[in-house]
Each structure stands twice: as C-alpha cells, then as structure tokens.
Amino acid sequence: MLPVRALLLRFSLTFGLLFVLAFVLLTAAYQPLKDHILETQQITDLKSKSLVLGYQTPDFKHLAQYILEGHHFKPEEFNYRTGTDYLAFFKKGSELFPQLFEMFYMQGVCYSWLQDAPDAEDALRQSLQINPVFFWSYYDLGLLCLKNGQIDAAIALLSTAKRIPPQVTGKFLHDLQAFQIIWRYMPDPEGYITRHLQQADQKIDSLLLIALAIKNHHDADVHFDPNQWDPVFF
Amino acid sequence: MMLMCILIQTNGTLYFFKNMIIRLLCPDPVLFWAYLIPVLYWTYLTLTTNFVLVFDSVGYFNLAHLFYDPGQWTEYFRGGPNREPLYPLLIAASMSAGKWLGISYAYPLKIFSFSFLAATMALIQQVLKLLNANRWVQAATVLYTGLSPILINSALCLYSEIASFPWLIGVVLMSVYFLRSLRSPGLTHCSAAIGLGFCFLAFTFVKGMGEILAPLYLSWLFFYGWRQSGLKILSFLCQSRSKILLVLLIFYIPLMGYKSLNYGFNGHFVLTNRATMALYGNLNLRAQSPLTMDHFLGHLLTVPVSYDLCSGSSLNKECGHWSMSASDETFLTRRDQLTKQNLTPAQQESYFNQGILGALFSHPLAQLVYLVQEGMKMFFWETSQGAFVVYPPWLDHLFNIHSVVVLMSLGVGGLCLCGFLMACSMLKNELILITVVLTGLLVLCFSFVLVLHRYAIAAAPLMILINASVLSALTTRSKR
C-alpha cells in the first residue's frame, strides 16, 4: 500500500482536475455546448434521413421512360432487384420526411397504378393536407373518387383543381428535388410540364362534365370508361 | 480453528474492501484520465450523432423486433436460420429500456455499445498489467482504444461488431488463468474454465465464425497446457479432465441447444444462414481465377479493405472481379440452376458442401496465394471514414482530411501487420503466444471467406493488444 502522501497526491491530481473541468463546463461552456448539441442534432438527424433515402434510391430512368410513353407500372414491375422499387422508395421518403407532400403524392399515383384505391386515396389526401395547392393531387384524387362512385367529392376536388393557376404547379414541379431526380432522365422536361399543364384544363373540364352528368342521372348522355382514364404523374 | 478461519477470512475481506475503496478514491491519475477522456467524448457523440438504418442494420433491427414484440420470438426461429442472436437481443433490450425511459431506443443502445467498448478497454488494460506493461503504455493503449474512430463508429452504428469486442480479449485473459488453474487438480480454481467457455460462447453468438475458431483454439490450448505440465498425456487428461470438460460443456451445450431450436423450427441444424454462401461463392471464385499477374495484382489492391486503392487505378476492373457481388453471384447463379433442377434444400446443401471441398483442393497454389492475401485484409481494420453514422460537421470534416484517412487506414494497418510479425518473434512470453495464436487462427478462419471491412473490425481489439504487448516488450528491453 502506498504512503499517505502519495495517496493524497493521487487524489488531488485525479479529482482536483476533474472538479476544475466540471466547474469550467458548468459555468462557461454549458449554454454554448447545449446550443451546439441541439443544432448538431438537427443537422445529423436530417443528414442521416437523407442518407437512408439515398441508399434506397431506385433507378428513375425506367419511371421517366414510362411517364413519357404514357404507360403505367404493373404490380410485378415494382421490383427491388431491377431497381424499380418506386413505391418502397416513396413510402420510405414519406416516413422519413412527413412534411414533404410530393412523397405522399407519388405514393398515391403508384397505388393507383396498383389499383389499390384505399391506399391511393389515403396517400393523396395526406398530400393535399400538407400542400393544398398542387394541381395534380386534386386531379388524381378527383379521378379516383369518380371511379369509386364518390361523385360529390370528385366534383369538389376537380373544381378546386380548376382554380389553381398553372404557374403555381409549374413552380413545384421545377423546384422540388423529388421531381428533379426524374427530370434528369427526360430529354425536355420543361416542354413536358408545359404541355401537360396546358392539357390539364381540358381534362378537368371533361371529367367535371362526366361527374355532373352522373350526378344528375344523365349517365346515358356521357360515356365514361374508367379504364380510359389513368392517374397522371404530372 | 473455525473461529480463526472466520477471523482470517473477515480480515482478508476487510483488507480487500479497504484496498478497493482506496483504489476508487485514489486511482492512478494517468489511467483515470485515459478512461475519462474517452467517456466525455462518447457522451458528446451519443448526443450529436445519428446512425443510418440501411442494409444489414435493417436486418438486425427487424430481428430485434421479433424479440421485442410480445409473442413473436418463435418467428425468429421459424423464419430462420437467421443471424447470430446476441446483437438483436441487445437492440431489443435497448428498445425495452427506451420504452421504459420514454426516449428513443438509440440512446440506450449507444450506452450499451459504449459499455462493451469500456469493458474491452478494461480487459486490455488487465492483460497489459499481466505483461507488467508500463503504466504509460497501458494508458496510451486504453486511450487509443477509447478514441479509435472505427471502434467508436462500431459503437454508434447498428452493426454487431461492437458486441464481439470484449469476448476475444476475455478469451486471452481466461486462457492465462485457465493454464494456471490446470496445475490444481479437480474443480478447484474452475472459474477460468467457466469464463473461457462463456467468452467463446458469447463471441460465437455475435460472430458465427467462433463456431470454427473455438475448437481450433481450444485444441491448441489443451495441447499447450499438456506440454507445459510436463506430464504424460493420460496423466494430464486425468488431472485436468474436469476443467477441460467444463469448458467444452459451457461452450457446446447452449450452442447445440440453439442449433436444435433452429432444427426444430425450420429444419436446419445450423447457427446462421450465411456460411454456405460465403464459403462456396468465394472459394469457387478463387478456383475460377487462375493465378495470372492481373488477378494477383487485382486481388492485392483489395487487401487494404479500409482504403480504396482500386478506383483510379488501371486494375479497377480486376478489383471488381474480387468484389462481394461477384462472390454472391457465383453462389446465387448455381443455386438458381439447382432450384430449376428441382433439388430439395437438403440436396442443394449437400451439393454446395461438396463444391466447397472441391474448390478448396483445386488449384492449391492459387488458393494458397489468395488465402494469404485475404488474411492480410484482417490487419486493415482502422479507418476514419466509418460508414452508416452521421457525425457533427466539424468531426466529419476532420475524418475526411486525406492525410488523416491515409494515416488511419494504411498507417495503422501496416503497423498492425508489422506488430503481428514482431510478436511472432516474442513467443516465449506465454501471454503474447496466446494472443498471437488466437489472432492467427481468427485471421485463418476469415481467410476462407471474402473479408469485408466489418469482419476485420472484429479482430481490432486483438490487434491493439498485440501492438501494445510488442511495445511493452520493447520498452522493457530498452530499460534493461
């Protein structure tokens, strides 16, 4: 056993320095350290979520091609191994970033392609809750309601869509990163957006006519084949 | 007499507690700070970092849920064979702790992980004490273990390596005590035998490779114990049978029990599901790659697993030939063919086992060269660019400075390789001999599969111990 003097020296070297450190931390460094930790937590939290989504990003080349050709995915084509697992990607995106309406919107379109009406409706409604001025959310949800026989809801949604200025929708489509990663694979994304927004008014008018005719029991005057109307990505 | 024994025992106990209190109140300041600095750093990182839940960590997370959700634990076996169970159990415990405390499970998990790291530091220090290492060497080793970027990364991410760290050092310690205990007959001083069996069992339940490592190492240990005893083999076995049996029973009974559970629920008498794919894929890939200069150099460039030497080199395509996807593709292609031929899983298993043996003995020279190169990857465990953890921006920037990356990856890797080779010349010291043999066997076991960076991390504590032992031996020599 060491002599008392040596023990006292050890005690002061270890705990003395510890007390000094604790004093400095508590008095001078506590608040700045706390602010730094809170700020860093926000940054690392956001970055880790982006990385998780980044690792699971599918190959959007196929999606872009299908959009251009006007086709839509069949259920067996949503495949992790072939890099076309878009629904899983958008679902993960909406889980990690619940404030991003576009993740819910694109989920809704994928579910519509899979003919899963309840999930499609849920996703599109969530998209509208977050962003109530995106034209194509109203259009796709209105079309879904029309196909399901919810005529009043369809009329309300399509009428609201008609009131949204095209440039508002265009801005979302230009600015949002989730859409930009698909534009990269399109030869003329600007042209595509403009053309489809120009056609959007005509489509809305046609659907409203059909909805009103069905509502007023004039079904025979208007021919509505649900299979002819596909959900639109944008 | 009885009273005297009680008095001596009491006095002994009192002396023990007095000693313990003095150690707690007046610790060695160098060692105290060597432990405290990492603890402060870990506290900061626990509060500021986030792990990224992708790839294998999603698998661990999902398996943990099977333990955490009530009544779901049988699904772990029914849907198996799955991964080794200890780390998913740890995550499940963190989920329970998080729920009880009302916080995210990430915080308890990080605390548990850092506890494993702290235990590793303490065990390494204990081994160095047995080596009579200088307190500065002990402190430097403890400090490095606590501050190593990759070891901390292992504690912060959702991968299982952190849970394997203390067990191999425990094996080293317990081996020393076990060899000493062999001098006493029967079951006296049997705690080392219990500890040895338990450490191997715990390691195997984190890294399935322990199932192959344990019999190899224990065979050597028992053989070495016999040679040290100077007895005839039968006399040695008679004297030490209880302790040897104890080690084997503690290791094999739970392991066989676990494998029986797998057999009962899913028909496979195995620990995990990945051994066949790893062995068949890699050994066949090697068998299909004749020993040309391109193949040799391409494989050599992949040796520093913690640093990418391939991209930007003219042999980039060759490196791709030795990737994990190429190895897995070899297995998956064959499995698809066998499935199309309507072979049952048992028949497929038999086919793959034959394939493994066939590949092993075809082109023996090439297999040996690739085996040695694969084993060398185990020394390149350190890196400042650990994956799947998001650090504070200032730390991220520091870790990505090129010179830091090169120093950590290649510098420490080279040092570990040299340290191992130097330790091979110091085998007269029993403790160094035990560490070298254990490390050598671990490297040999992993050489048969494609060594990923995370496999090399599992050997990190042993590598640190070897380097510290060599440093301690050199400083002792220079003092003389």
Provide the 10 A C-beta neighbour count for residue A11: 15
Instruction: Answer yes or no: is A234 within a domain.
Output: no
Instruction: Give the gap in angstroms from C-alpha B49 to the nearest C-alpha of chain A.
Output: 6
Q: Are residues B133 and B199 in the same domain?
A: no
Minimum Cα–Cα distance from B49: chain A residue: A44
Instruction: Give the gap in angstroms from C-alpha B40 to the nearest C-alpha of chain A.
Output: 11
User: Is there a contact between B31 and B135 (Cβ–Cβ < 8 Å)?
Assistant: yes
How far is B312 from B297, CA to CA, in rounded Å? 14
Residues of A in contact with B58 (CB under 8 A): none
Q: Are residues A36 and A62 in the same domain?
A: no
| A103 φ, ψ (degrees, to nearest 5) | -70, -40
Check CB contact under 8 Å for A1 and B22.
yes
List per-residue pLDDT tens for chain A, 234 residues long. 667 788 788 888 888 888 888 888 888 888 999 999 999 999 999 999 999 988 888 888 888 888 888 777 777 777 766 777 889 899 999 999 999 999 999 999 888 888 888 999 999 999 999 999 999 999 999 999 988 888 899 999 999 998 988 888 888 888 887 888 888 888 888 888 888 888 888 888 888 888 888 888 766 666 677 777 777 776
Mean pLDDT (chain A) is 85
Check CB contact under 8 Å for A52 and B48.
no
Instruction: Give the gap in angstroms from C-alpha A96 to the nearest C-alpha of chain B.
Output: 11
Extract long-range pairs of B297-304: CB within 8 Å, 24+ residues apart.
Answer: B298/B322, B299/B370, B299/B373, B300/B373, B302/B377, B303/B373, B303/B376, B303/B377, B303/B380, B304/B377, B304/B380, B304/B409, B304/B410, B304/B413
Structure confidence at residue B469 (pLDDT): 94
How far is A122 from A109, CA to CA, in rounded Å? 11
Q: Are residues B403 and B456 in the same domain?
A: yes
Nearest to A48 among B50, B55, B393 (CB): B50
- And the tokens for B248? 């084997």
User: Is there a contact between A137 and A232 (Cβ–Cβ < 8 Å)?
Assistant: no
Q: Are residues B304 and B192 in the same domain?
A: no
Nearest to A44 among B27, B33, B392 (CB): B392
**Three-state secondary-structure class, residue A80:** coil
Q: Are residues B338 and B414 in the same domain?
A: yes
How is A138-192 classified by DSSP, letter by letter? HHHHHHHHHHTT-HHHHHHHHHHHHTS-HHHHHHHHHH-HHHHHHHTT-S-HHHH
Q: Are residues B100 and B116 in the same domain?
A: yes
Q: Are residues A50 and A64 in the same domain?
A: no
Structure confidence at residue B301 (pLDDT): 85
Instruction: Answer yes or no: is B228 within a domain.
Output: yes
Number of domains in chain A: 2
Number of domains in chain B: 3
Q: Are residues A87 and A191 in the same domain?
A: yes
Cβ burial of B328 (10 Å; 0-12, 13-18, 19+) is: middle
Q: Are residues A160 and A78 in the same domain?
A: yes
Beta bridge partners, B390, equal B50
Instruction: Give the gap in angstroms from C-alpha A78 to the nearest C-alpha of chain B.
Output: 19
DSSP B392: P
Nearest to A10 among B28, B48, B51 (CB): B28
What is the Rg, in whole angstroms, of the alpha carbon atoms belonging to chain B? 24
Nearest to A52 among B28, B47, B52 (CB): B52
User: Is there a contact between B117 and B143 (Cβ–Cβ < 8 Å)?
Assistant: no
Q: Are residues B220 and B356 in the same domain?
A: no
**Domain harbouring A128, CATH code:** 1.25.40.10
Structure confidence at residue B214 (pLDDT): 96
Residues of B in contact with A56 (CB under 8 A): 54
Instruction: Answer yes or no: is B16 within a domain.
Output: no
Structure confidence at residue A56 (pLDDT): 85
* Sign of the dihedral defined by the CA atoms of residues B194, B224, B461, B35, in that order: positive
- And the tokens for A111? 């579910």
H or E, element range at B319? helix B316-321
- Residue A3 belongs to what domain range? 1-55
DSSP B390: E
Instruction: Answer yes or no: is A150 within a domain.
Output: yes
Nearest to B48 among A14, A18, A44 (CB): A44
DSSP B50: E
Q: Are residues B124 and B226 in the same domain?
A: no
Instruction: Answer yes or no: is B22 within a domain.
Output: no
B81 cis-preceded (ω within 30 degrees of 0): yes
Question: Minimal CA–CA distance to B283: which of B318, B250, B239, B331?
Answer: B331
Number of H helices, E strands in chain B: 24, 2
Structure confidence at residue A218 (pLDDT): 63
Residues of B in contact with A10 (CB under 8 A): 26-29
Q: Are residues B141 and B192 in the same domain?
A: no
- Residue B136 belongs to what domain range? 27-158
Check CB contact under 8 Å for B392 and A17.
no
How far is B135 from B148, CA to CA, in rounded Å? 19
- Test the A interface: residue of B54, B110, B333, B398 with most A CBs within 10 Å: B54
User: Is there a contact between B109 and B89 (Cβ–Cβ < 8 Å)?
Assistant: no
Question: Minimal CA–CA distance to B131: which of B424, B430, B420, B427?
Answer: B430
Instruction: Give the gap in angstroms from C-alpha A68 to the nearest C-alpha of chain B.
Output: 32
Q: Are residues B218 and B363 in the same domain?
A: no
Provide the 10 A C-beta neighbour count for residue B128: 23
Among A15, A34, A55, give the residue marking a domain's end. A55
Question: Minimal CA–CA distance to B364: which of B283, B428, B244?
Answer: B283
Q: Are residues A120 and A20 in the same domain?
A: no
Structure confidence at residue B15 (pLDDT): 66
| ipTM score for this prediction | 0.79
> Could you report the per-residue pLDDT of B51-61, keeping only the tens digit for each?
999 888 999 99
Q: Are residues B38 and B131 in the same domain?
A: yes
Q: Give percent above pLDDT 70 in chain A.
A: 94
Q: Low-confidence residues of chain B, pLDDT below 70?
A: 1-17, 19-26, 185-188, 479-480
Instruction: Answer yes or no: is A233 within a domain.
Output: no
Check CB contact under 8 Å for B52 and A41.
no
Minimum Cα–Cα distance from A55: chain B residue: B54
Q: Are residues A41 and A100 in the same domain?
A: no
